[in-house]
């Protein structure tokens, strides 16, 4: 009796990569969530208040064949962010990409700035970034990536953006520092700084004339789209973008 030794074992399924996207239910965050899901990642869509939009984002991902779950958390609350990361690990087994797209923007001349608005904006944009980045630094698996968000206004320095640009300047300042602190972990840290992008956050409070003027500022003579920014984020979070580390990428169509 002979034994057939030419059989092939079924290969083990490839482990799914997992992303946590804060502010992932609307605007650029939603585009990032959907793009990462299209690229095969399971996505934890974080939201602060708008549960309906988060559910819509998850539905769009799952209807397209992707995997996603919505989880509420305030990025500035460390216990809530720890619970968010716990849920990601419980649901999908680990975390490979963290994108902190949650943000707040208030525009005002510095002389007229409401300090209550300043405190609220800095709580989300500075404290929130540090809370999420700290948890990412503790939990990301080898080969993982953290992507933060700044703004090209840090470079263009338009009037009325002083407080907002200051809050995002803090994000830029910590980017290379965190990348260096994660030496030996095979984890990248980068920040994307969009230019004028057609989102509700950007368009709110602007006249059609202001929007048209801003659209003509880049050499490409248009506003960016959430999908433009999502493609940059997806690259940074992918194996193809893993040699980019500690950088600020100004995704703005050619502005300063």
Identify the band that residue 9 occupies on the pLDDT scale cut at 50, 70 and 90.
low
Three-state SS letters, 117-167: HHHHHHHHHHHHHHHHHHHHHHHCCCCCEEEEECCCHHHHCCCCCHHHHHH
Active-site annotation holder among 47, 92, 161, 164: 164
> Please, what are the domains in the chain?
18-249 (3.40.50.720)
Taking only the tens place, the pLDDT of each residue in 30-86 is 999 999 999 999 999 999 999 999 999 999 999 999 999 999 999 999 999 999 999
- Residue 14's pLDDT is 61
**4 pLDDT higher than 60:** no
In this structure, are residues 221 and 215 in contact, taking their beta carbons and an 8 Å threshold?
yes
Cα(183)–Cα(223) distance, rounded to whole angstroms? 37
192: part of which helix (H) or strand (E)? strand 188-192
Identify the band that residue 222 occupies on the pLDDT scale cut at 50, 70 and 90.
very high
Cα(12)–Cα(67) distance, rounded to whole angstroms? 19
164 in catalytic set: yes
**5 pLDDT higher than 60:** no
- Residue 55's pLDDT is 98
- Residue 92's pLDDT is 98
**119 pLDDT higher than 80:** yes
């Amino acid at each position: 009796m002979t034994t057939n030794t030419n059989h092939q074992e079924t290969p083990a399924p490839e482990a799914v990569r997992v992303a946590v996207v804060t502010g992932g239910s609307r605007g650029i965050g939603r585009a990032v969530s959907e793009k990462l899901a299209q690229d095969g990642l399971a996505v934890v869509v974080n939201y602060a208040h708008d549960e309906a939009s988060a559910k819509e984002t998850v539905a769009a991902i799952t209807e397209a064949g992707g995997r996603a779950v919505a989880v509420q958390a305030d990025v500035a609350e460390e216990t809530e962010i720890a619970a968010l990361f716990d849920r990601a690990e419980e649901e999908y087994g680990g975390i490979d990409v963290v994108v902190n797209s949650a943000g707040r923007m208030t525009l005002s001349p510095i002389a007229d700035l409401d300090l209550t608005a300043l405190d609220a904006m800095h709580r989300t944009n500075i404290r929130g970034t540090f809370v999420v980045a700290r948890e990412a630094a503790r939990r990301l698996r080898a080969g993982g990536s953290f992507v933060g968000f700044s703004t090209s206004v840090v470079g263009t320095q338009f009037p009325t953006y002083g407080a907002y640009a200051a809050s995002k300047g803090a994000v830029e300042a910590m980017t290379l520092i965190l990348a260096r602190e994660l030496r030996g972990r095979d984890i990248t840290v980068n920040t994307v700084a969009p230019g004028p992008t057609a989102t509700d956050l950007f368009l709110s409070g602007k006249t059609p004339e202001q929007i048209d003027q801003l659209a003509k500022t880049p050499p490409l003579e248009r506003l960016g789209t959430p999908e433009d920014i999502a493609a940059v984020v997806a690259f940074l979070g992918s194996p193809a973008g893993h040699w980019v580390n500690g950088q600020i990428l100004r995704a703005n169509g050619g502005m300063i």
